[in-house]
Amino acid sequence: MLNVRNLDDQTYEQIVQAAEGRLPWLCPQWTTHNASDPGITILELMAWYKELQQYHMNQFTSDLRRKLLKLAGAVPRPARPARCGLELEPDRPPKARLERLYTREGIPFELEEAIPADQPAIARIQLVQGERRTDVSEFLQERRVPIQPFEAAGDALRIGFSKAGGETLRLWLDVDESQDPPRNPFAPESSDPRVIRWACEGAEETQVLRDETRALSRDGYVTLRRRGDWPAGEDGLFWLCLTLEEPGCEGAARLSGVSAGRYPALQQESWATTRLFRAEAGGELALNLDDAQARDCYPAVFVRTEERWEQTDRWRSTRREDGLDLWVDTDGAALDGEDNVMVLCLDAMRARDLLFDAKGLPGETFFLRLEGRHALADRFTLLCETLGRDGKVRPALWRCVDDIYQYGPRDRVFTYDPIRETVTFGDGEHGALLQGGQGAVLAAELTVTFQDGGNIPGGQELEFLDGAGIVSHSPATGGAAAESGEELQARLLQELSHTDKCACAQDYEDLARQTPGLRVALAKAIPDYDPGEPTGVSRSPTVTVVVAPAGDGERPMPDDRFLSAVQRQLDRARPIGVMVKVYPPEYVDIHVTLTLRGGGEALEDRLAEALGDYLSGSGVGVGGTVTVGDLAALAQSVPGVLQVRGVALRAASAGCYQNREGDIRLPRRGIPRLGKLSVQRLPERVR
């Protein structure tokens, strides 16, 4: 353990006293040490300065904290905008991507995706379970009590649309995730817990482009694309059918809502965006910029020649409802197979605030005028006049970094201070030196947000500027400021408390429970045990991990996908030379016969509940021992039981061992369950 040194360990008086005490040895001729002496005045001044330096050296600043955490590999999380879902009616007019909406307080939001002109409309929802069909339109569209759409393989959920829309169909599904234990976050390589087939009835083929729900395991969008015509059914509706092909082992899916008119919106404003294009030959290049920011922007067009990026005025444009058409003359552009046309779309109302005149001084700083907003630093880019290695000055893109002092004299970087709303460039030693000139700095990519100030409650508060009416929306969540040094330190300490390597049995169990995408109810590590060996004793270092899913019923069993996912998780963390084997549990029925005195209504039911909870809970555990004494004490505590005279146990499974006292030792992978309960009541004593 390293001890923290206190560098501010002297007061001003102590420093002066120590210095005056050294004067007879340093300068014997100096005999007057009064406060009126000019030498003493200088000494007191230096003592004050020393105390000031000690104080600053002893401070643990936020910048120092970040630098030390970076040495430990901790990277702070950037600022994030809040996100909400807009609920739009099918007859709403189309909207371009990045179209802005505002709350009554003036908080802006931008559409993350375009709203098409031909929107589908849900008219009816049916559950198909065997021969039974149930209409659940009211429940799912009003988001009431969650519904379990599938009971067994072959069950289906049919969604009928009054109009089909385009070739691409997108749905939002609300999934009830309040089950315990909660599902672990998915990893990119995680498999879905069940298999669902999506099909537009009557269409040639239906392709799933994106399934954020992971087979109805969490909230998200599902995007489908069909091939061929989609004919309407006899009732005039276009039916989409979700069929459960493999139910999995982790419990049934629970739906609480389905929507075809939900579109995501982010609490942000795009003040500057950059788009790069590639002209294959000289002449006029036609470009289509399909979003509202480009439609309303002030464009700045650059063409890359053999030597540099040069701004050009040889272009013309036409604005559309959903974007901007641009034609650029590319004569003179470098035709080397790389991007040679760059279009900067600047917010027309703020274009002057995004252009800066530079003096070319070391550490030059510019004020951004964000008016309380915060720039998303991970997307922040500036186009600056830059001195190249050949001595020529050319425009180049510079990126935003956290700490400029770790970069060299040619690195094109700058820092952003969200408190002061400024950007600062290097001094030529740490970070490249900015070149001076009029309009030398231009914002190329700048998106601003109110961070956690954009987390607003759901309701009807957002409205488009064109007066199309108020839009209903879900609560905006997820907005957060950039992670501070204290928050980063707390997160690092929490991450260090969890291991990604298996050193003991508890590590195997913890990592098995944390398998991405699974709901793991049980994980038990058994060292030096191999079920594949006749005697169970492993000939090589082996750890067997018994796992069970959080499924329905009293005896949930893992399927092959579940076992394979846990196996991959543990194989990445096991030590070299140790073999890990993942097995399902063995459920053992324990038949109990109780002889007791007592009575009361539903006594057998109360006993069965108490004994069942004890056996299936943590009372015995995997491979434990079911003891007669524990069950007798538990039965004695049940209300209505006066006296327990005898307990007899019997196991209905091979591999169990029962001793002379009647206790039953389970197999190494055994989990007890209450089988048959027999209660023999003795007559009460007559006094």
Which DSSP state fits 538?
Answer: -
Let me know: does 191 contact 518? Beta carbons within 8 Å. no
Taking alpha carbons only, the member of 323, 336, 328 closest to residue 293 is 323
89, with CB counted inside 10 A (0-12, 13-18, 19+), is exposed
Q: Say if residue 617 is in the same domain as residue 555.
A: no
- In 10 A of CB 231, how many CB atoms? 12
- 156 vs 150: CA distance, rounded Å: 7
What are the residues facing 672 on neighbouring strands?
Answer: 588
Helix, strand or coil, per DSSP, at residue 109: strand
Q: Say if residue 578 is in the same domain as residue 668.
A: no
Q: Say if residue 361 is in the same domain as residue 380.
A: yes
What per-residue confidence (pLDDT) applies to 3? Answer: 65
At which of 583, 613, 642 does a domain end?
Answer: 583
Helix, strand or coil, per DSSP, at residue 500: coil
Query: 556 preceded by cis ω (within 30°)?
Result: no
* Residue 355 tokens, joined: 């252009």
Let me know: does 488 contact 496? Beta carbons within 8 Å. no
- 182 vs 133: CA distance, rounded Å: 31
* Residue 665 tokens, joined: 């030792």
Q: Which domain holds residue 364?
A: 269-449
Distances (CA, A) of 501 to 394, 507, 572: 50, 7, 8
Taking alpha carbons only, the member of 275, 368, 274, 288 closest to residue 114 is 288
Residue 280 in any domain: the answer is yes
Residue 131 in any domain: the answer is yes
476-529 per-position pLDDT tens digit:
999 999 888 888 888 888 888 887 889 899 999 999 999 999 999 999 999 999
Q: Which CATH number belongs to the domain containing residue 578 in this structure? A: 3.30.300
At which of 524, 553, 583 does a domain end?
Answer: 583
At which of 260, 281, 312 does a domain end?
Answer: 260
- 454 vs 19: CA distance, rounded Å: 58
Q: Say if residue 320 is in the same domain as residue 239.
A: no
Taking alpha carbons only, the member of 583, 575, 472, 573 closest to residue 524 is 583
Residue 114 in any domain: the answer is no
Q: Say if residue 195 is in the same domain as residue 240.
A: yes
Residue 463 in any domain: the answer is no
Q: Say if residue 521 is in the same domain as residue 442.
A: no
* Residue 501 tokens, joined: 């390597």
Distances (CA, A) of 560 to 192, 213, 218, 450: 12, 21, 22, 46
Residue 594 in any domain: the answer is yes
Taking alpha carbons only, the member of 94, 122, 147 closest to residue 239 is 122
Q: Say if residue 515 is in the same domain as residue 601.
A: no
Q: Say if residue 384 is in the same domain as residue 512.
A: no
Let me know: does 243 contact 151? Beta carbons within 8 Å. no
Taking alpha carbons only, the member of 380, 280, 372 closest to residue 335 is 280
Dihedral sign of CA atoms 277, 282, 288, 289 in order: positive
Taking alpha carbons only, the member of 265, 262, 322 closest to residue 121 is 262
Q: Say if residue 300 is in the same domain as residue 420.
A: yes
299-311 per-position pLDDT tens digit:
999 999 988 889 9
Q: Say if residue 357 is in the same domain as residue 434.
A: yes
Q: Count of domains in the chain?
A: 5
Q: Say if residue 298 is in the same domain as residue 437.
A: yes
Helix, strand or coil, per DSSP, at residue 221: strand
Residue 51 in any domain: the answer is yes
Q: Say if residue 333 is in the same domain as residue 424.
A: yes
Concatenated DSSP letters of 274-334? EEEE--SSSSEEEEEE-SHHHHTEEEEEEEE-SS-EEEE--EEEEEETTEEEEEEE-TT--
Sheet strand arrangement including 156-163: 132-135, 121-129, 156-163, 238-246, 195-200
What per-residue confidence (pLDDT) applies to 2? Answer: 52
- 656 vs 393: CA distance, rounded Å: 83
Distances (CA, A) of 76 to 66, 376, 412, 488, 648: 8, 13, 21, 6, 61
Give the residues of the chain that fall short of pLDDT 50. Answer: 1
Helix, strand or coil, per DSSP, at residue 492: helix
The pTM for the full model equals 0.81
Residue 391 in any domain: the answer is yes
What per-residue confidence (pLDDT) applies to 35? Answer: 86
Distances (CA, A) of 397 to 421, 443, 465, 579: 20, 10, 33, 51
Residue 522 in any domain: the answer is yes
